[in-house]
Homo-oligomer: A and B are copies of this chain.
Amino acid sequence: MHKGTILSVEDDEHLQFVLSEYLTDDGYNVLLARDVRSAQEHIANSAINVVLLDLVLPDGDGLNLITLLKSSCSAGIIVLSGKNDTTEKVVCLEMGADDYLTKPFEMREMSARIKAVMRRLEAQTPPPPSNELSEKLRLPNGWILDRSCYQVFDPEARSAELTTGEFRLLNVLAQSANRVLSREQLFELTREGNAAFDVYDRAVDIQIARLRKKIGDVQKPPQLIRTIRGVGYMLCGQIDTL
């Protein structure tokens, strides 16, 4: 469980300790700095998601750090300050801070605000680790499977006009590409939970056949949907997420 990396810049050793404990427990990777210099070092050397920033530091003003952060990386910035001063708040926020929290505060509020900032931060990095959530997949034969509109398009952008059942089947196969799925698995994954599967049920075979025909996957050696005799079916090849 690694929810992200947080840099805490704070010269009060007690608060620093409490923060560190709490956030580590919370599942974050925590870096600590007690002055501007060491903060800069961390910023240069580590990938940081959120910075907790105390403005009053022994060797300079934290405001400069905001500027540095905005120019050098996209980390979220939450200012922690002992002063409840509107002008200071406005200055920090205008300079690019994402939030401003007045001491003293409760840990769970801070944690919630970190989450809120991270949420927005993640929303702005759409391409990266998209695992199973992608809306569009490119199948090995070049067809595009678009979950958002229940459609499959061939390279020339004509639609394959799959039925809902056929689409679900293809979707399940693509999701477990390069793994064999038994008829029973396919049967249950393609319908809303409540259906009994009979071992002699040929329903899946028929759907497979119809699907193959529609996507032009008759048996030519690089076959997309392969039959594993006695076991089930498997969609094989490279799947790209778009």
Contact = CB atoms under 8 A, between A and B. Distances in A.
A123 B123 CA distance: 9
Contacts of A124: 120, 123-124, 126
Contact of A90 (B90, B94, B109, B230): B109
Given A94-B115, A99-B116, A149-B234, 10 more contacts: A74-B123, A86-B108, A89-B109, A90-B111, A93-B109, A93-B115, A120-B121, A148-B178, A149-B228, A150-B231
Nearest to A123: B124
Interface in A94-146: 94, 96-99, 106, 108-109, 111-113, 115-117, 119-121, 123-124, 126-127
Residue among A90, A99, A112 facing the most chain B CB atoms (10 A cut-off): A112
Contacts of A74: 123
A113 B86 contact: no
A179 interface: yes
A8 to B, nearest CB: 19
Copies in the complex: 2
B148 A179 contact: yes
A229 interface: yes
A236 interface: yes
Interface string A152-183: 00000000000111000000000000111000
A127 B94 CA distance: 24
Contacts of A178: 148-149
7 contacts: A74-B123, A93-B109, A93-B112, A93-B116, A124-B126, A126-B127, A163-B229
A190 B110 CA distance: 37
A86 B109 contact: yes
Interface string A44-84: 00000000000000000000000000000010000000000
Contact of A148 (B109, B149, B150, B180): B180
Contacts of A90: 108-109, 111-112
